[in-house]
């Protein structure tokens, strides 16, 4: 078959072991801290940031993207927040 013996037996061994959980529930990376810092170093909880995101969308006819929402939070409240965190919070709120 022209493959190494170790490769053959490794694949056979992996196929025989059952997977415990699907990959979709597999959490990777470090856990989220649950807060962000302002420019002055004051911690702001993610729940407060979610409230601010909802306030920005309240009564608006225009559709905002997560990048613009993050920029508004940075400009208005001086919170250090990046687009990835803004995306995660918007996804949790279901406002994407």
- The secondary structure of 35-90 as a DSSP string is EEEETTS-EEEHHHHHHHHHHHHTT--SPPPHHHHHHHHHHHH-EE--HHHHHHHH
Q: Look up the pTM and report it.
A: 0.68
Q: What is the mean pLDDT of the chain?
A: 85
91 phi, psi to nearest 5 deg = -65, -40
Residue with tokens 């006819």, as numbered in its chain:
61
Is 3 inside any structural domain? no
d(Cα 16, Cα 90) in Å, to the nearest integer? 41
Is 51 inside any structural domain? yes
Instruction: Provide the pairing of β-strand 79-80 with 43-45.
Output: unpaired
Is 17 inside any structural domain? no
Q: 21: helix, coil or strand? A: coil
pLDDT at position 32? 87
Is 10 inside any structural domain? no
Total number of domains constituting the chain: 1
Residue 67: domain span? 29-93
The tens digit of pLDDT for each residue in 24-71 reads 556 788 888 999 999 999 999 999 999 999 999 887 767 689 999 999
More confident residue, 49 or 5: 49
């Amino acid at each position: 078959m022209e493959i190494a013996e170790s490769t053959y037996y490794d694949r056979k061994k992996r196929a025989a072991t059952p997977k415990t959980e699907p990959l979709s529930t597999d959490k990777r990376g470090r856990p989220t801290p649950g807060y962000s810092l302002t420019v002055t170093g004051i911690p702001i909880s993610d729940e407060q940031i979610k409230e601010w995101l909802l306030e920005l969308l309240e009564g608006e006819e225009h559709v905002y993207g997560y990048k613009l929402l993050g920029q508004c939070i940075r400009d208005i409240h001086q919170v250090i927040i990046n687009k990835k965190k803004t995306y995660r919070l918007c996804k949790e709120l279901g406002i994407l």
